[in-house]
Structures are given as C-alpha cells and as structure tokens.
Amino acid sequence: MVHETKLELLLPLVLKDETKMEEEELLLGQKVWIQTEVGVQGPKDQRSGQSMDEGGETTKEQQEGRECQGEESDEDWDTDLELGDQEEADALMEKMNYRKTCERLHVAPASRFLENMQKSDLSMKHYGLGPQGTKALAVSLVTNTSIRRVNLRDNWMEGMGGAAIAKMLQKNCYITEVDLSDNNLRDFGARAISNMLKVNNTLVSLHLSGNHFTDQSAENLVPALISNTTLQHLDLSCNALGDHAGQTLGNYLSENMGLRSLCLAWNCFRGRGAVTLANGLGGNVYLRSVDLSNNDFGKEGAVALGQALKDNDVLEELNVSNNRIPPEGAIHLAMGLKENKTIRFLNVGRNPIQNIGCSKILQSLQENPDSSIETLDFSDITVNEDFEDLYTAVKKTFSALRVKHGGTIGPLRKAKSWKVLE
C-alpha cells in the first residue's frame, strides 16, 4: 500500500524484516479496501438518484429543471458526505496499518491506542509495551495528525524502543509534549533523542526521568539542546548524571536560549560538577524554574549558588532541598538573596543549615526591600523562638510571605509541631 510504503521509508529500522509475501498481502489488502469503499458509497448515480443517459451523464433538460426549482446540485451536498466519509476512511486505514504493523512485529495491538488515535491526548503509562510494542506504536504515530501529548512512562521500551520514538518525532510535526520516563533508555536512547532534538522544532516538553542516563548521555544531549530553541521544559531527574555531566550541563546553561524549566533532581552532582552547574545558572537569562534537589552540592555548591543568585535576574523558582548544605552554605545563599529581585520560591529544606541558616536567609529579606520572595521552605529544620520573632518583624514588610519549617524549639528544648507561618 502507498501509505504503508511511506511509513517503511520513514522508519526503516522498525520495518527492516519485511518479506515479499507480506508486501503481496498488503497489496491484496489495498484491493479489498478499494472494493469495500466503492461498495459502501455506491456509484454516483445511486447516491444522487439521478437518471442517466446512455453516456452516463445527467441530461441537459433535467439539470436545467433542477436549477429552476432552486434545487442543489450533486456537488453541493456530496461534498459534505465525502468529507465525512473521508475522515472515517482515514481513521479506519490508520487502524488497519497499526494492526498490520503489530502483526509484522509479533505483538498484540494496544486497545487503548486504537481507542485514542483521533484524540489529542494519548496516555499509555505502565502499559507494558516493551521494545517491539513501542516500535509498532511509533510507526502509526509518524503520520498521526490528531495526537498532541503522549505519555509513555514506564513501558520498559529500552534503547531500541526509545530510538523508534525518537525517529518518529523527527517526522511528526504535531506532537508537543512527550513523557518517556522510567523506560531504561540508557545511553543508546539518549543518542537517538539527541539526533531527534537537532531537527525537531515542535516539541515543547520532554520528560526523561529515570532512564539510567550517565555522563555520556549528557555529552550526547547537550549539543542538541544548544541547537534546539523550541524545547521549553526538560526533566532529567532520577538518572546517574555525575560531576562530568554537571560541568557539561553547566557550560550549556550559559548558552541556553530555549528552556524555561529544568529538573535535575535525584542525580549525583557534587564538587566541581555542582559548582560549574551553579555558575552556568548564574549566566542563564531564560530559565524560570530549576530543581536541583536531592544531589550533593554541599558548601562549595551553595557558595556558587549564592553568587548565581546575585548574577541571575530572571530565575523565579529554585529548589536545593536535601543537598547537604551546612550553615556556612546557607549564609552564602542569604548573601545572594540580598541582591536578588526575581526569586519567588526558594526551597532549602532537609539541609543541615540549622536555625542560624534559616535566620540568615530570612534576615536577608530585611536588607532587600526589592525582593520578590513569596515562599521560603525550611521543611524538616527546627527553629527557635528568635526565628519566630524575626519572622514577625519581616512579615510587616512582606505581608504575603509564607514560611515552612520543621517546628519550633522552646525554652525547655521541646520541639513544637511542624508548622507553616503565614
């Protein structure tokens, strides 16, 4: 079939094991389809109810009589019917092609996909597609013009399945959001996604969490991210990105011209990698939200983040919770907040910054009347009554300020319950 031949050219790796017998079956299927379509619609004289002359055309007298009576011609009302018939035919053809691809790859067709082919959202998370099932899905999505958002989280598609999706996204210009998290894509999948990002100009959001990406994956992804200016939201959390990846990504951040939000939580950034990453953040002029939680920035990384807060004048949300930041690191963060005018949300919870670190950060607001802070998160960090008094004073200037902490230690050293100060 012409349509399936097009798919084969677009994804040769997916359909490389075809046989001549299968091609003959496809040709036969095309003939059956044409016959079925003619049988449903019937010849034009049967649809219109017109009498035909020997040449198969409406007589001149009949046509003139219909026009005098104000009747519509066949072309006026057949057009609407043909459009509806064509849409149904296209949908049916799309399902036929998907089933045929599944047959070739020896996988069962996914009923959820068949039911949602013509909708804008396709959610198939935890569906168990595997590499072959993902390939079959990718073939059908190449020419799909309805689906805009695709969620394929946790389908264990592995590198080969991820490569098929990446190949599809090189051709499909309608899909804008994709979630490929928890699919064990590894470095092979990262390379395929990198090649896709270099040519795709419609994807806006991409989730790649939990795919066992390493520093090599970052080496592959960063050049593509630099050249791609349409991607706005990227999630690389829960991978194995280390110091080298931190340096690679840090250098990229200073050149980024597209991303608005970046999630790098639950990786292995520390030491020089954390410092370079923070330095890159300081030079970025596009990012609005960054999540660096659950890494290992420590004191050195916090010092660099403090400087980044001084230099950056666009960032609005920063999460550095659970990063082993000590009180000295919190003091440097506070120094950055004294000059920052854009941060609205700062999360430094679950760090050993103690009461002194929390107080220094809160006190920095008193010295920065231009601060935009709305929320300070000190979750799981206990404070004392002096902090409470300081908060009351700061609240007079920042009436909308909201502070979370892990409870207050009173004069008897007894921690009160966790609370939110508003």
Question: 110-421 in CATH: which number?
Answer: 3.80.10.10
The position carrying tokens 């991607």 is 231
- Give the phi and the psi of residue 405 in degrees, each rounded to 5: -155, 175
Answer yes or no: is pLDDT of 369 > 80.
yes
Residue 19's Cβ-side half-sphere holds a number of Cα atoms within 13 Å equal to 6
Q: What is the pLDDT of residue 84?
A: 58
Can you spell out the DSSP letters for 206-253? Answer: EE-TTS---HHHHHHHHHHHHH--S--EEE--SS---HHHHHHHHHHH
Which positions ≥6 away from 15 have C-beta within 8 Å?
A: 7, 8, 101, 104, 139
Q: How far is C-alpha 117 from the geometric centre of its chain's CA atoms?
A: 19
- For residues 214 and 189, is the Cβ–Cβ distance under 8 A? no
DSSP 8-state symbol, 415: B
Answer yes or no: is pLDDT of 61 > 90.
no
User: Which pLDDT tens digit goes with each residue over 72-131?
Assistant: 455 554 555 455 577 788 889 999 999 999 999 999 999 999 999 999 999 999 999 999
Tokens of 361: 């950060």
Quickly count: other Cβ atoms within 10 Å of residue 336's Cβ: 24
What SS3 class is residue 420? strand
Answer yes or no: is pLDDT of 41 > 80.
no
Q: Find, among 141, 207, 198, the residue nearest to 175 by Cα.
A: 141
Answer yes or no: is pLDDT of 256 > 50.
yes
Q: Which helix (H) or strand (E) holds 306?
A: helix 298-311
- For residues 295 and 267, is the Cβ–Cβ distance under 8 A? yes
Q: What is the pLDDT of residue 77?
A: 47
The position carrying tokens 């230099």 is 311
The position carrying tokens 């007589």 is 59
Rounded Cα distance, 356 and 108, in Å: 60
Residues 104, 105, 106, 109: is their CA dihedral positive or negative? negative
Band the pLDDT of 330: cuts 50, 70, 90: very high
Quickly count: other Cβ atoms within 10 Å of residue 345's Cβ: 16
Strands 419-421, 402-405: parallel, antiparallel or unpaired by DSSP? antiparallel
Residue ranges per domain, the chain? 110-421
Q: Which of 48-52, 74-78, 202-206, 258-262 has the lowest mean pLDDT?
A: 48-52
Percent of the chain with pLDDT over 70: 77
Answer yes or no: is pLDDT of 231 > 90.
yes
The position carrying tokens 């098929």 is 164
Tokens of 204: 């806006």
